[in-house]
């Protein structure tokens, strides 16, 4: 009997090592593959360098705390993330009437809407009723200009950008998961070389100290329509709903109401510090929920919990990362962001055009969103979805439907 503890303890240690390492990988991949998109989006809607760095910091903290609570409470590998499609949408939306405070106000509204989605099932059904091809077409249109950025960057700054693309392409062949993180690592090397070989040293060392920069929210109808509504739809349609599906594919049932309340409240609390939205992880969710995290499904929650702790560590270094990005040569950060979004763009285009009966509305939605046209101070994402729904209604109702089916 005395030998039992000594043989069991090492086995438990070895058993826990696998989900712990999976959790660390989940956090590293999630952070490095999309933070450039996040900083680009926050800056586009009016955040200065300090406010954008604060947003990155608070998003790391709020999603970390949410993961720690949900994974331990329900003993399943629930992982959270900031809304990368939402950040891409912000990058395309640009500044709105009321500036950064109005954008922060829109973030608060998004958080409240997410909480209501958990408490009021009808709201979730309304979002689920939005045709998937149109929602994905809107997202694809928003992503297109960002994914084109590497092409223009190669033209304008080939020496700084080409090494990043080459590393990304090589990594795609051997390990797609690490392609974007390795591209960022290459970009960091390029930035450091640029800082040491040029007289224009723009690295602000004081900005590398983590700090929370609070902004009093304000509200404008342009920001509510142009940012809050599309951001909420994209976050639900491209993150939360797919996140539930990913978890279900591994045999887990996500507690919908608690998850929406936690992510919604996290978004509301983080908004004044610059956080735009947190949600269920979709793509990165598989890193903690798959058998590679642990053979025993009941032990994989440790991976999600570890990812939460890892994000708290990353939060401490987020300001330094943001300062490094701010010092980057023109085109480098845009290239990393564009490369990071290419897989999402491909998936969105595939979903948008997969249903032949929805293609006309999806194409119209895609083109309007990609145009970046702003009307009445409202960005193209809202108009894209609105016009797409109108086109779909015209083409799928009444006599026109039968005429189209005969042709």
- Is residue 226 a part of any domain in this protein? yes
Residues ≥6 apart with Cβ < 8 Å to 107: 217, 228, 231, 267, 270, 271, 275, 276, 277
Mean pLDDT, all residues of the chain:
85
Q: Using a pLDDT cut of 90, give the percent of the chain over it.
A: 33
- Is residue 366 a part of any domain in this protein? yes
**216 alpha-carbon distance from chain centroid:** 24
- Is residue 1 a part of any domain in this protein? no
Q: In terms of residue numbers, what domain contains 179? A: 14-406
Instruction: Give residue 85's pLDDT.
Output: 87
Length of the chain: 407
Report DSSP letters for 250-309, one per residue.
Answer: TT----HHHHHHHHHHHHHHHGGGT---EEE-STTHHHHHSTTT-SSGGGTHHHHHHHHH
The domain tally of the chain equals 1
Q: Tell me the CB-side half-sphere exposure of residue 15, using CA atoms within 13 A.
A: 14
Q: What tens digit of pLDDT does each residue of 89-139 get?
A: 898 887 788 889 999 999 999 999 999 999 988 887 777 778 888 888 988
Q: What tens digit of pLDDT does each residue of 44-55 get?
A: 999 998 999 999
Query: What 3-state DSSP class applies to 216?
Result: coil
When pLDDT is cut at 50, 70 and 90, the band that residue 203 belongs to is: low
- Is residue 210 a part of any domain in this protein? yes
Q: Tell me the CB-side half-sphere exposure of residue 188, using CA atoms within 13 A.
A: 13
- Is residue 3 a part of any domain in this protein? no
- Is residue 313 a part of any domain in this protein? yes
- Is residue 2 a part of any domain in this protein? no
- The structure's pTM equals 0.81
């Amino acid at each position: 009997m005395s030998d039992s503890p000594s043989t069991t303890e090492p086995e438990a240690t070895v058993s826990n090592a696998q989900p712990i390492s999976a959790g660390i990988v989940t956090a590293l991949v999630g952070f490095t593959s999309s933070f450039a998109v996040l900083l680009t989006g926050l800056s586009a809607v009016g955040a200065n360098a300090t406010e954008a760095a604060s947003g990155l910091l608070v998003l790391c903290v709020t999603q970390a705390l949410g993961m720690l609570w949900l994974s331990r409470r329900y003993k399943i590998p629930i992982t959270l993330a900031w809304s990368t499609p939402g950040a891409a949408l912000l990058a395309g939306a640009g500044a709105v009437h009321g500036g950064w405070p109005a954008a922060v106000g829109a973030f608060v509204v998004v958080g409240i809407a997410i909480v209501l989605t958990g408490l009021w099932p009808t709201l979730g059904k309304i979002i689920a009723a939005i045709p998937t091809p149109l929602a994905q077409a809107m997202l694809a249109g928003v992503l297109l200009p960002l994914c084109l950025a590497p092409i223009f960057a190669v033209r304008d700054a080939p020496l700084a950008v080409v090494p990043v693309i080459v590393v990304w392409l090589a990594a795609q062949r051997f390990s797609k998961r690490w392609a974007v993180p390795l591209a960022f690592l290459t970009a960091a090397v390029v930035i450091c070389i640029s800082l040491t070989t040029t007289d224009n040293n723009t690295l602000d060392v004081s900005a590398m100290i983590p700090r929370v920069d609070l902004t009093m929210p304000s509200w404008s109808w342009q920001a509510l329509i142009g940012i809050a509504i599309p951001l909420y739809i994209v976050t639900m349609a491209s993150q939360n709903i797919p996140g539930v599906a990913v978890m279900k594919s591994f045999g887990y049932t996500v507690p919908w109401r608690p998850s929406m309340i936690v992510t919604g409240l996290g978004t509301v609390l983080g908004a004044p510090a610059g956080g735009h939205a947190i949600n269920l992880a979709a793509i990165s969710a598989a890193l903690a929920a798959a058998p590679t995290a642990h053979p025993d499904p009941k032990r994989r929650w440790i991976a999600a919990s570890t990812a939460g702790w890892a994000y708290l560590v990353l939060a401490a270094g987020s300001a330094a990362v943001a300062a490094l990005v701010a010092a980057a040569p023109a085109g480098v950060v845009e290239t990393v962001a564009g490369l990071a979004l290419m897989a999402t763009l491909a998936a969105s285009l595939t979903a948008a055009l997969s249903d032949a009966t929805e293609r006309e509305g999806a194409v119209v939605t895609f083109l309007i969103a990609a145009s970046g046209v702003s009307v009445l101070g409202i960005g193209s994402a809202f108009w894209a979805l609105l016009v797409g729904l109108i086109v779909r209604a015209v083409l799928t109702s009444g006599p026109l439907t039968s005429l189209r089916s005969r042709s």
